[in-house]
Structure 1
Amino acid sequence: MTSLRSIRGFAFDLDGTIWAGPRLLPGAAELVADVRAAGLPVVFATNSSQKGARVVAPILASLGIPAEPREVVTAFDLAAGEVLRRMGPVPVLVLGNDDLSDSMASVGHAPLPFDRWEEARAVVVGVDPAFSYGRLRAASRAVAAGAAFFAVNMDARFPVSDGFDPGCGALVEAVATAARVRPIALGKPHPALFEEAVSRLGCPAGSAAIVGDSQASDMVGGKAAGMVTIWVHPAADVPALVEPDLTVDDLVELRRLWLAASAPPAR
Protein backbone atom coordinates (compact mmCIF):
# COMPACT_ATOMS: atom_id res chain seq x y z
CA MET A 1 0.00 0.00 0.00
CA THR A 2 2.90 2.35 0.74
CA SER A 3 4.31 1.74 -2.74
CA LEU A 4 0.91 2.39 -4.34
CA ARG A 5 0.51 5.70 -2.48
CA SER A 6 3.91 6.86 -3.72
CA ILE A 7 3.20 6.32 -7.42
CA ARG A 8 3.08 9.49 -9.54
CA GLY A 9 2.77 7.87 -12.97
CA PHE A 10 1.88 4.51 -14.50
CA ALA A 11 3.46 2.69 -17.45
CA PHE A 12 1.29 -0.19 -18.63
CA ASP A 13 2.46 -3.07 -20.77
CA LEU A 14 -0.11 -3.92 -23.46
CA ASP A 15 -0.03 -7.58 -24.58
CA GLY A 16 -1.27 -9.71 -21.70
CA THR A 17 -1.80 -6.72 -19.40
CA ILE A 18 -4.14 -4.20 -21.06
CA TRP A 19 -5.33 -6.46 -23.85
CA ALA A 20 -5.19 -9.96 -25.28
CA GLY A 21 -5.60 -9.96 -29.03
CA PRO A 22 -8.57 -7.79 -30.05
CA ARG A 23 -10.14 -7.32 -26.59
CA LEU A 24 -9.38 -5.40 -23.43
CA LEU A 25 -8.71 -7.44 -20.32
CA PRO A 26 -11.02 -7.02 -17.31
CA GLY A 27 -10.46 -3.82 -15.35
CA ALA A 28 -8.14 -2.19 -17.90
CA ALA A 29 -10.35 0.68 -19.06
CA GLU A 30 -11.63 1.38 -15.55
CA LEU A 31 -8.16 1.47 -13.97
CA VAL A 32 -6.70 3.75 -16.63
CA ALA A 33 -9.71 6.09 -16.34
CA ASP A 34 -9.40 6.25 -12.54
CA VAL A 35 -5.65 6.93 -12.66
CA ARG A 36 -6.19 9.75 -15.13
CA ALA A 37 -9.08 11.15 -13.10
CA ALA A 38 -6.69 11.36 -10.16
CA GLY A 39 -4.43 13.57 -12.28
CA LEU A 40 -1.65 11.02 -12.78
CA PRO A 41 0.02 10.56 -16.18
CA VAL A 42 -0.19 7.26 -18.05
CA VAL A 43 1.92 5.73 -20.81
CA PHE A 44 1.62 2.41 -22.57
CA ALA A 45 4.99 0.67 -22.97
CA THR A 46 5.05 -2.21 -25.41
CA ASN A 47 7.70 -4.43 -26.96
CA SER A 48 5.71 -4.55 -30.20
CA SER A 49 7.87 -5.01 -33.29
CA GLN A 50 4.89 -4.76 -35.67
CA LYS A 51 3.18 -1.47 -34.79
CA GLY A 52 4.29 2.00 -33.80
CA ALA A 53 2.56 4.55 -31.59
CA ARG A 54 0.57 6.11 -34.43
CA VAL A 55 -1.08 2.74 -35.05
CA VAL A 56 -1.35 1.57 -31.43
CA ALA A 57 -2.97 4.75 -30.04
CA PRO A 58 -6.06 4.56 -32.31
CA ILE A 59 -6.44 0.85 -31.52
CA LEU A 60 -6.52 1.66 -27.81
CA ALA A 61 -9.08 4.40 -28.43
CA SER A 62 -11.30 2.07 -30.47
CA LEU A 63 -11.34 -0.39 -27.57
CA GLY A 64 -12.33 2.23 -25.03
CA ILE A 65 -9.03 3.68 -23.73
CA PRO A 66 -8.40 7.09 -25.34
CA ALA A 67 -4.67 7.57 -26.02
CA GLU A 68 -2.45 10.00 -27.87
CA PRO A 69 0.62 8.74 -29.77
CA ARG A 70 2.93 10.45 -27.26
CA GLU A 71 1.41 8.26 -24.54
CA VAL A 72 2.55 5.10 -26.35
CA VAL A 73 6.18 3.95 -26.22
CA THR A 74 7.02 1.06 -28.54
CA ALA A 75 10.15 -0.93 -29.25
CA PHE A 76 9.09 -0.59 -32.90
CA ASP A 77 9.52 3.21 -32.78
CA LEU A 78 12.81 3.04 -30.89
CA ALA A 79 14.47 0.57 -33.26
CA ALA A 80 15.19 2.79 -36.27
CA GLY A 81 16.55 5.59 -34.11
CA GLU A 82 18.77 3.25 -32.13
CA VAL A 83 20.30 1.79 -35.29
CA LEU A 84 20.82 5.35 -36.55
CA ARG A 85 22.44 6.43 -33.28
CA ARG A 86 24.86 3.53 -33.35
CA MET A 87 25.69 3.38 -37.07
CA GLY A 88 24.32 6.38 -38.94
CA PRO A 89 22.12 5.76 -42.01
CA VAL A 90 22.95 2.33 -43.47
CA PRO A 91 21.68 -0.28 -45.94
CA VAL A 92 19.52 -2.54 -43.76
CA LEU A 93 17.93 -5.95 -44.21
CA VAL A 94 14.62 -6.02 -42.35
CA LEU A 95 13.14 -9.32 -41.24
CA GLY A 96 9.74 -7.92 -40.30
CA ASN A 97 6.62 -6.35 -41.75
CA ASP A 98 6.41 -3.49 -44.25
CA ASP A 99 5.78 -0.96 -41.49
CA LEU A 100 9.11 -1.83 -39.86
CA SER A 101 10.87 -1.33 -43.20
CA ASP A 102 9.09 2.01 -43.64
CA SER A 103 10.18 3.15 -40.17
CA MET A 104 13.79 2.39 -41.08
CA ALA A 105 13.47 4.38 -44.31
CA SER A 106 11.85 7.31 -42.47
CA VAL A 107 15.09 8.08 -40.59
CA GLY A 108 17.42 7.60 -43.57
CA HIS A 109 18.21 3.87 -43.66
CA ALA A 110 17.95 2.05 -47.00
CA PRO A 111 15.90 -1.18 -46.70
CA LEU A 112 17.19 -3.88 -49.06
CA PRO A 113 15.43 -6.69 -50.91
CA PHE A 114 16.44 -10.10 -49.60
CA ASP A 115 18.35 -11.03 -52.77
CA ARG A 116 20.75 -8.14 -52.00
CA TRP A 117 21.62 -9.32 -48.49
CA GLU A 118 25.35 -9.01 -49.21
CA GLU A 119 24.99 -5.20 -49.21
CA ALA A 120 23.49 -5.05 -45.71
CA ARG A 121 25.39 -3.31 -42.96
CA ALA A 122 22.65 -4.03 -40.45
CA VAL A 123 19.98 -6.69 -40.01
CA VAL A 124 16.90 -5.78 -37.96
CA VAL A 125 14.54 -8.55 -36.85
CA GLY A 126 10.92 -8.09 -35.78
CA VAL A 127 7.86 -10.31 -36.09
CA ASP A 128 7.63 -11.25 -39.77
CA PRO A 129 4.28 -12.66 -41.02
CA ALA A 130 6.03 -13.61 -44.30
CA PHE A 131 8.89 -15.43 -42.57
CA SER A 132 10.38 -18.14 -44.78
CA TYR A 133 13.47 -20.27 -45.18
CA GLY A 134 14.70 -17.88 -47.86
CA ARG A 135 14.42 -14.89 -45.57
CA LEU A 136 16.13 -16.76 -42.77
CA ARG A 137 18.97 -17.71 -45.10
CA ALA A 138 19.45 -14.12 -46.29
CA ALA A 139 19.35 -12.61 -42.79
CA SER A 140 21.67 -15.18 -41.23
CA ARG A 141 24.17 -14.95 -44.10
CA ALA A 142 24.22 -11.14 -43.81
CA VAL A 143 24.88 -11.35 -40.06
CA ALA A 144 27.55 -14.03 -40.50
CA ALA A 145 29.23 -11.79 -43.09
CA GLY A 146 29.52 -8.95 -40.57
CA ALA A 147 26.27 -6.96 -40.65
CA ALA A 148 25.27 -5.60 -37.24
CA PHE A 149 22.44 -7.69 -35.80
CA PHE A 150 19.53 -5.96 -34.01
CA ALA A 151 16.52 -7.57 -32.35
CA VAL A 152 13.54 -5.29 -31.77
CA ASN A 153 12.79 -7.49 -28.77
CA MET A 154 13.63 -10.96 -27.46
CA ASP A 155 10.12 -12.11 -26.55
CA ALA A 156 9.76 -15.73 -27.69
CA ARG A 157 5.96 -15.45 -27.75
CA PHE A 158 3.19 -12.96 -27.13
CA PRO A 159 -0.33 -13.57 -25.81
CA VAL A 160 -3.40 -13.45 -28.07
CA SER A 161 -7.04 -14.16 -27.29
CA ASP A 162 -6.81 -17.90 -28.07
CA GLY A 163 -3.33 -18.60 -26.67
CA PHE A 164 -0.04 -17.24 -28.01
CA ASP A 165 1.74 -16.43 -31.25
CA PRO A 166 5.49 -16.86 -31.86
CA GLY A 167 7.25 -13.63 -31.00
CA CYS A 168 10.17 -11.66 -32.38
CA GLY A 169 12.60 -13.57 -30.15
CA ALA A 170 11.73 -16.87 -31.82
CA LEU A 171 12.83 -15.49 -35.20
CA VAL A 172 15.87 -13.81 -33.66
CA GLU A 173 17.04 -17.12 -32.23
CA ALA A 174 16.75 -18.79 -35.63
CA VAL A 175 19.00 -16.13 -37.19
CA ALA A 176 21.40 -16.19 -34.23
CA THR A 177 21.70 -19.98 -34.35
CA ALA A 178 22.39 -20.06 -38.08
CA ALA A 179 24.76 -17.05 -38.05
CA ARG A 180 26.46 -17.98 -34.75
CA VAL A 181 26.16 -14.35 -33.63
CA ARG A 182 24.19 -12.93 -30.70
CA PRO A 183 21.98 -9.87 -31.34
CA ILE A 184 21.87 -6.38 -29.90
CA ALA A 185 18.45 -6.40 -28.19
CA LEU A 186 16.56 -3.09 -28.13
CA GLY A 187 13.23 -3.62 -26.34
CA LYS A 188 12.34 -4.56 -22.77
CA PRO A 189 14.08 -5.49 -20.48
CA HIS A 190 16.83 -3.28 -21.87
CA PRO A 191 16.99 0.32 -20.57
CA ALA A 192 15.98 2.50 -23.55
CA LEU A 193 12.25 1.79 -23.48
CA PHE A 194 11.97 2.23 -19.70
CA GLU A 195 13.96 5.45 -19.79
CA GLU A 196 11.68 6.83 -22.50
CA ALA A 197 8.56 5.80 -20.57
CA VAL A 198 9.78 7.49 -17.38
CA SER A 199 10.75 10.62 -19.33
CA ARG A 200 7.25 10.89 -20.78
CA LEU A 201 5.65 10.36 -17.39
CA GLY A 202 7.65 13.33 -16.09
CA CYS A 203 8.35 11.90 -12.64
CA PRO A 204 11.37 10.21 -11.05
CA ALA A 205 11.79 6.52 -11.84
CA GLY A 206 11.23 5.64 -8.18
CA SER A 207 7.77 7.23 -8.35
CA ALA A 208 6.82 5.55 -11.65
CA ALA A 209 5.21 2.12 -11.82
CA ILE A 210 5.59 -0.47 -14.55
CA VAL A 211 2.56 -2.77 -14.69
CA GLY A 212 3.10 -5.92 -16.74
CA ASP A 213 2.62 -9.66 -17.01
CA SER A 214 6.14 -10.60 -18.13
CA GLN A 215 8.77 -11.33 -15.52
CA ALA A 216 11.56 -11.47 -18.12
CA SER A 217 10.81 -8.12 -19.76
CA ASP A 218 8.56 -5.96 -17.55
CA MET A 219 9.68 -6.92 -14.05
CA VAL A 220 13.39 -7.45 -14.73
CA GLY A 221 13.65 -4.25 -16.76
CA GLY A 222 11.49 -2.19 -14.42
CA LYS A 223 13.48 -3.29 -11.39
CA ALA A 224 16.76 -2.38 -13.12
CA ALA A 225 15.33 1.03 -14.05
CA GLY A 226 14.44 1.73 -10.41
CA MET A 227 10.68 1.74 -11.03
CA VAL A 228 7.90 0.39 -8.82
CA THR A 229 7.17 -3.07 -10.26
CA ILE A 230 3.62 -4.47 -10.35
CA TRP A 231 3.31 -7.99 -11.72
CA VAL A 232 0.00 -9.08 -13.21
CA HIS A 233 0.61 -12.76 -12.56
CA PRO A 234 -0.37 -14.92 -15.55
CA ALA A 235 -2.40 -18.09 -15.07
CA ALA A 236 0.60 -20.18 -16.11
CA ASP A 237 3.12 -21.15 -13.46
CA VAL A 238 5.79 -18.58 -14.37
CA PRO A 239 8.87 -18.37 -12.12
CA ALA A 240 9.64 -15.04 -10.47
CA LEU A 241 13.04 -13.93 -11.77
CA VAL A 242 12.92 -10.87 -9.52
CA GLU A 243 10.66 -10.03 -6.59
CA PRO A 244 8.10 -7.43 -7.71
CA ASP A 245 6.90 -4.73 -5.35
CA LEU A 246 3.35 -5.99 -5.80
CA THR A 247 1.77 -9.08 -7.40
CA VAL A 248 -1.88 -9.07 -8.46
CA ASP A 249 -4.10 -11.56 -10.27
CA ASP A 250 -5.48 -8.98 -12.70
CA LEU A 251 -6.17 -5.28 -13.18
CA VAL A 252 -9.46 -5.57 -11.31
CA GLU A 253 -7.49 -6.41 -8.17
CA LEU A 254 -4.91 -3.70 -8.85
CA ARG A 255 -7.69 -1.11 -9.27
CA ARG A 256 -9.25 -2.12 -5.97
CA LEU A 257 -5.93 -1.91 -4.15
CA TRP A 258 -4.94 1.40 -5.77
CA LEU A 259 -8.30 3.03 -4.99
CA ALA A 260 -7.99 1.90 -1.36
CA ALA A 261 -4.43 3.22 -1.11
CA SER A 262 -5.24 6.57 -2.69
CA ALA A 263 -8.43 7.22 -0.72
CA PRO A 264 -8.21 10.04 1.82
CA PRO A 265 -7.82 8.83 5.41
CA ALA A 266 -11.00 8.42 7.42
CA ARG A 267 -11.70 11.08 10.03
Structure 2
Amino acid sequence: MTYEGYFIDLDGTIYQGKNSFPSGKRFIERLRQNDKQFMFVTNNATRTPEQVQRTLADEHDIHVDMTQIYTSAMATADYVSRLAEVKKVLVIGEIGLHQALAAKGLTIVTRGNADAVVVGLNRELKYDDLMYATLAIQNGAKFIATNIDTNLPNEKGMIPGAGTVVAAVQTATQQQPIIIGKPYTPIMEGALQRAQLDVKQVIMVGDNYKTDIQAGINLKMDTLLVYSGISTKSQIKAEQIKPTHEVDSLDDWVIE
Protein backbone atom coordinates (compact mmCIF):
# COMPACT_ATOMS: atom_id res chain seq x y z
CA MET A 1 0.00 0.00 0.00
CA THR A 2 1.17 3.53 -0.74
CA TYR A 3 1.56 6.04 2.11
CA GLU A 4 2.19 9.74 1.67
CA GLY A 5 3.54 10.22 5.19
CA TYR A 6 5.46 8.25 7.79
CA PHE A 7 5.34 8.90 11.54
CA ILE A 8 8.47 7.29 12.98
CA ASP A 9 9.53 6.43 16.52
CA LEU A 10 13.15 7.07 17.49
CA ASP A 11 14.42 5.03 20.46
CA GLY A 12 14.50 1.36 19.50
CA THR A 13 13.47 2.09 15.91
CA ILE A 14 16.09 4.41 14.38
CA TYR A 15 18.69 3.93 17.10
CA GLN A 16 19.09 2.61 20.64
CA GLY A 17 20.66 5.19 22.91
CA LYS A 18 24.01 6.06 21.37
CA ASN A 19 24.02 2.95 19.22
CA SER A 20 23.04 3.64 15.61
CA PHE A 21 20.93 1.30 13.50
CA PRO A 22 22.37 1.48 9.95
CA SER A 23 18.97 0.31 8.71
CA GLY A 24 17.43 3.41 10.30
CA LYS A 25 19.65 5.80 8.37
CA ARG A 26 19.03 3.87 5.14
CA PHE A 27 15.27 3.96 5.79
CA ILE A 28 15.27 7.76 6.07
CA GLU A 29 17.40 8.06 2.93
CA ARG A 30 14.95 5.85 1.02
CA LEU A 31 11.99 7.94 2.21
CA ARG A 32 13.71 11.04 0.83
CA GLN A 33 14.52 9.32 -2.46
CA ASN A 34 10.83 8.44 -2.81
CA ASP A 35 9.68 11.97 -1.90
CA LYS A 36 7.82 10.79 1.20
CA GLN A 37 6.89 13.13 4.02
CA PHE A 38 8.09 11.92 7.41
CA MET A 39 8.08 13.08 11.01
CA PHE A 40 9.79 11.64 14.07
CA VAL A 41 7.06 11.25 16.70
CA THR A 42 8.71 10.41 20.01
CA ASN A 43 7.46 9.99 23.56
CA ASN A 44 10.78 11.25 24.90
CA ALA A 45 9.97 14.63 26.49
CA THR A 46 13.37 15.31 28.04
CA ARG A 47 15.02 16.90 25.01
CA THR A 48 14.23 20.01 22.97
CA PRO A 49 13.67 19.62 19.22
CA GLU A 50 17.08 21.25 18.70
CA GLN A 51 18.69 18.60 20.91
CA VAL A 52 16.91 15.81 19.04
CA GLN A 53 18.07 17.32 15.75
CA ARG A 54 21.69 17.50 16.97
CA THR A 55 21.58 13.94 18.34
CA LEU A 56 20.35 12.60 15.02
CA ALA A 57 23.04 14.51 13.12
CA ASP A 58 26.03 14.13 15.43
CA GLU A 59 25.50 10.58 16.70
CA HIS A 60 23.63 8.91 13.84
CA ASP A 61 24.44 10.98 10.71
CA ILE A 62 20.74 11.61 10.05
CA HIS A 63 20.01 15.20 9.07
CA VAL A 64 16.48 16.59 9.37
CA ASP A 65 14.88 19.97 9.88
CA MET A 66 12.84 21.06 12.87
CA THR A 67 9.47 20.49 11.19
CA GLN A 68 10.27 16.76 11.12
CA ILE A 69 10.46 16.41 14.91
CA TYR A 70 7.47 16.16 17.25
CA THR A 71 8.04 15.18 20.87
CA SER A 72 5.55 14.40 23.62
CA ALA A 73 6.73 17.63 25.28
CA MET A 74 5.63 19.59 22.20
CA ALA A 75 2.35 17.67 22.06
CA THR A 76 1.76 18.33 25.76
CA ALA A 77 2.41 22.04 25.30
CA ASP A 78 0.01 22.10 22.34
CA TYR A 79 -2.66 20.39 24.44
CA VAL A 80 -2.21 22.49 27.60
CA SER A 81 -2.13 25.78 25.68
CA ARG A 82 -5.64 25.04 24.38
CA LEU A 83 -7.02 24.80 27.94
CA ALA A 84 -8.37 28.30 28.59
CA GLU A 85 -8.38 27.81 32.36
CA VAL A 86 -4.68 26.87 32.54
CA LYS A 87 -2.15 29.69 32.91
CA LYS A 88 0.21 28.42 35.62
CA VAL A 89 1.78 24.95 35.32
CA LEU A 90 3.75 22.99 37.90
CA VAL A 91 6.23 20.83 36.00
CA ILE A 92 8.15 17.67 36.77
CA GLY A 93 10.42 17.24 33.76
CA GLU A 94 13.58 18.23 31.99
CA ILE A 95 14.53 21.04 29.60
CA GLY A 96 12.51 19.73 26.65
CA LEU A 97 9.25 19.91 28.61
CA HIS A 98 10.03 23.22 30.34
CA GLN A 99 10.98 24.90 27.07
CA ALA A 100 7.94 23.61 25.15
CA LEU A 101 5.50 24.85 27.79
CA ALA A 102 7.24 28.20 28.20
CA ALA A 103 7.16 28.72 24.42
CA LYS A 104 3.35 28.67 24.64
CA GLY A 105 3.38 31.55 27.14
CA LEU A 106 2.57 29.42 30.17
CA THR A 107 3.98 30.31 33.59
CA ILE A 108 6.18 27.48 34.91
CA VAL A 109 6.48 26.78 38.64
CA THR A 110 8.00 23.95 40.67
CA ARG A 111 5.95 24.42 43.85
CA GLY A 112 2.80 26.11 45.14
CA ASN A 113 -0.60 26.49 43.54
CA ALA A 114 -1.02 25.76 39.84
CA ASP A 115 -3.80 25.26 37.31
CA ALA A 116 -2.19 22.09 36.03
CA VAL A 117 0.56 19.66 36.99
CA VAL A 118 2.50 18.24 34.04
CA VAL A 119 4.62 15.17 34.76
CA GLY A 120 7.32 13.71 32.53
CA LEU A 121 10.64 11.97 32.98
CA ASN A 122 13.08 13.76 35.28
CA ARG A 123 16.37 11.95 35.80
CA GLU A 124 17.22 14.25 38.72
CA LEU A 125 13.92 13.65 40.50
CA LYS A 126 13.72 14.60 44.18
CA TYR A 127 11.14 13.80 46.83
CA ASP A 128 10.12 17.46 46.98
CA ASP A 129 9.17 17.33 43.29
CA LEU A 130 6.67 14.57 44.04
CA MET A 131 5.46 16.32 47.18
CA TYR A 132 4.66 19.65 45.52
CA ALA A 133 3.04 17.94 42.52
CA THR A 134 0.87 15.90 44.88
CA LEU A 135 -0.19 18.93 46.90
CA ALA A 136 -1.08 20.94 43.79
CA ILE A 137 -3.24 18.11 42.41
CA GLN A 138 -4.91 17.68 45.79
CA ASN A 139 -5.71 21.40 45.62
CA GLY A 140 -7.48 21.01 42.29
CA ALA A 141 -4.80 21.23 39.59
CA LYS A 142 -5.32 19.15 36.45
CA PHE A 143 -3.00 16.13 36.31
CA ILE A 144 -1.38 15.71 32.87
CA ALA A 145 1.32 13.20 31.87
CA THR A 146 3.60 13.51 28.84
CA ASN A 147 3.60 9.70 28.51
CA ILE A 148 3.57 6.59 30.66
CA ASP A 149 6.39 4.58 29.08
CA THR A 150 7.63 2.10 31.67
CA ASN A 151 11.07 1.93 30.08
CA LEU A 152 13.29 3.92 27.73
CA PRO A 153 15.61 2.02 25.34
CA ASN A 154 19.20 3.00 26.01
CA GLU A 155 22.65 1.66 25.19
CA LYS A 156 22.75 0.49 28.84
CA GLY A 157 19.47 -1.40 28.50
CA MET A 158 15.82 -0.62 29.26
CA ILE A 159 16.10 2.19 31.80
CA PRO A 160 13.11 3.59 33.81
CA GLY A 161 10.80 5.76 31.74
CA ALA A 162 8.39 8.60 32.48
CA GLY A 163 5.73 6.13 33.56
CA THR A 164 7.66 5.41 36.72
CA VAL A 165 7.46 9.08 37.76
CA VAL A 166 3.80 9.38 36.74
CA ALA A 167 3.00 6.24 38.76
CA ALA A 168 4.51 7.81 41.88
CA VAL A 169 2.24 10.85 41.57
CA GLN A 170 -0.75 8.62 40.81
CA THR A 171 -0.05 6.60 43.95
CA ALA A 172 0.16 9.71 46.09
CA THR A 173 -2.94 11.41 44.66
CA GLN A 174 -5.10 8.40 43.74
CA GLN A 175 -5.95 10.24 40.52
CA GLN A 176 -5.59 9.24 36.86
CA PRO A 177 -3.75 11.67 34.58
CA ILE A 178 -4.67 12.90 31.12
CA ILE A 179 -2.01 11.17 28.99
CA ILE A 180 -0.63 12.88 25.88
CA GLY A 181 1.99 10.54 24.44
CA LYS A 182 1.67 7.28 22.54
CA PRO A 183 -0.45 5.11 22.68
CA TYR A 184 -2.92 7.91 23.44
CA THR A 185 -4.30 10.05 20.65
CA PRO A 186 -3.33 13.68 21.52
CA ILE A 187 0.25 13.31 20.24
CA MET A 188 -0.93 11.59 17.06
CA GLU A 189 -3.62 14.19 16.39
CA GLY A 190 -1.06 16.95 16.96
CA ALA A 191 1.36 15.30 14.53
CA LEU A 192 -1.35 14.95 11.86
CA GLN A 193 -2.25 18.60 12.29
CA ARG A 194 1.36 19.68 11.87
CA ALA A 195 1.87 17.40 8.87
CA GLN A 196 -1.44 18.51 7.33
CA LEU A 197 -2.20 14.92 6.39
CA ASP A 198 -5.22 12.66 6.85
CA VAL A 199 -4.97 9.54 9.02
CA LYS A 200 -5.39 7.29 5.96
CA GLN A 201 -2.36 8.88 4.28
CA VAL A 202 0.05 8.02 7.11
CA ILE A 203 1.65 4.90 8.58
CA MET A 204 3.04 4.73 12.15
CA VAL A 205 6.46 3.03 12.37
CA GLY A 206 7.87 1.77 15.66
CA ASP A 207 9.37 -1.04 17.72
CA ASN A 208 6.94 -1.02 20.66
CA TYR A 209 3.48 -2.54 20.25
CA LYS A 210 2.21 -1.03 23.51
CA THR A 211 3.04 2.54 22.48
CA ASP A 212 3.82 3.04 18.78
CA ILE A 213 1.56 0.39 17.28
CA GLN A 214 -1.29 0.86 19.75
CA ALA A 215 -1.18 4.60 19.00
CA GLY A 216 -1.83 3.86 15.35
CA ILE A 217 -4.53 1.31 16.18
CA ASN A 218 -6.29 3.78 18.49
CA LEU A 219 -6.41 6.33 15.67
CA LYS A 220 -7.29 3.74 12.99
CA MET A 221 -3.94 4.42 11.30
CA ASP A 222 -1.94 1.68 9.56
CA THR A 223 1.13 0.51 11.45
CA LEU A 224 4.55 -1.00 10.80
CA LEU A 225 6.23 -2.89 13.65
CA VAL A 226 9.98 -3.41 13.35
CA TYR A 227 11.59 -6.04 15.56
CA SER A 228 14.61 -3.94 16.53
CA GLY A 229 13.61 -2.82 20.03
CA ILE A 230 11.06 -3.68 22.67
CA SER A 231 8.38 -5.95 21.18
CA THR A 232 9.07 -9.57 20.22
CA LYS A 233 7.36 -11.94 17.80
CA SER A 234 6.13 -14.14 20.65
CA GLN A 235 4.50 -11.13 22.31
CA ILE A 236 2.77 -10.10 19.08
CA LYS A 237 1.37 -13.61 18.60
CA ALA A 238 -0.58 -13.11 21.83
CA GLU A 239 -2.13 -9.81 20.69
CA GLN A 240 -5.66 -9.91 19.26
CA ILE A 241 -5.12 -6.87 17.04
CA LYS A 242 -1.94 -7.26 14.99
CA PRO A 243 0.18 -4.52 13.41
CA THR A 244 -0.77 -3.87 9.79
CA HIS A 245 2.77 -4.82 8.77
CA GLU A 246 5.74 -6.45 10.53
CA VAL A 247 9.43 -6.52 9.52
CA ASP A 248 12.62 -7.79 11.12
CA SER A 249 14.52 -4.73 9.87
CA LEU A 250 13.55 -1.44 8.26
CA ASP A 251 15.66 -2.61 5.32
CA ASP A 252 12.90 -5.16 4.65
CA TRP A 253 10.23 -2.50 4.10
CA VAL A 254 9.42 -1.63 0.50
CA ILE A 255 8.53 2.05 0.05
CA GLU A 256 5.89 2.59 -2.63
> TM over 0.5: same fold?
yes
1:56 to 52, 55, 60: 52
Q: Distance in 2 between matches of 1:198 and 1:108?
A: 23
- Measured after TM superposition, the shift of residue 224 of structure 1 is 2.3
- Measured after TM superposition, the shift of residue 241 of structure 1 is 5.9
Q: Distance in 1 between matches of 2:240 and 2:11?
A: 19
2:66 is equivalent to residue 69 of structure 1: yes
2:20 corresponds in structure 1 to: 24
- Measured after TM superposition, the shift of residue 159 of structure 1 is 0.5
Q: 1:113 to 1:205 in 2, by over 3 A?
A: closer
> In the alignment, is the contact (CA less than 8 A) between 2:48 and 2:95 conserved in 1?
no
2:88 is equivalent to residue 91 of structure 1: yes
Length-normalised TM-score, structure 1: 0.86
Q: Distance in 2 between matches of 1:241 and 1:149?
A: 31
Q: Distance in 2 between matches of 1:243 and 1:225?
A: 14
> Which runs of 5 or more residues in structure 2 are unaligned?
none
> In the alignment, is the contact (CA less than 8 A) between 1:79 and 1:186 conserved in 2?
yes
Mapping of 1:103-252 within 5 angstroms? 103-114=100-111, 117=112, 119-233=113-227, 234=230, 236=232, 237-239=234-236, 240=239, 242-252=241-251
1:81 to 65, 74, 78: 78
> In the alignment, is the contact (CA less than 8 A) between 2:92 and 2:110 conserved in 1?
no
Q: Distance in 2 between matches of 1:197 and 1:147?
A: 26
Length-normalised TM-score, structure 2: 0.90
- Measured after TM superposition, the shift of residue 155 of structure 1 is 0.8
Give the structure with higher Rg (CA). 1
> In the alignment, is the contact (CA less than 8 A) between 1:17 and 1:213 conserved in 2?
yes
> In the alignment, is the contact (CA less than 8 A) between 1:210 and 1:227 conserved in 2?
yes
Alignment size in residue pairs: 250
> Which runs of 5 or more residues in structure 1 are unaligned?
263-267
Deviations 1:116-160 (A, max 9, x none): x2x122111011122122211221122122111010111111100
2:3 corresponds in structure 1 to: 7
State the SS of the aligned residue for 1:54: helix
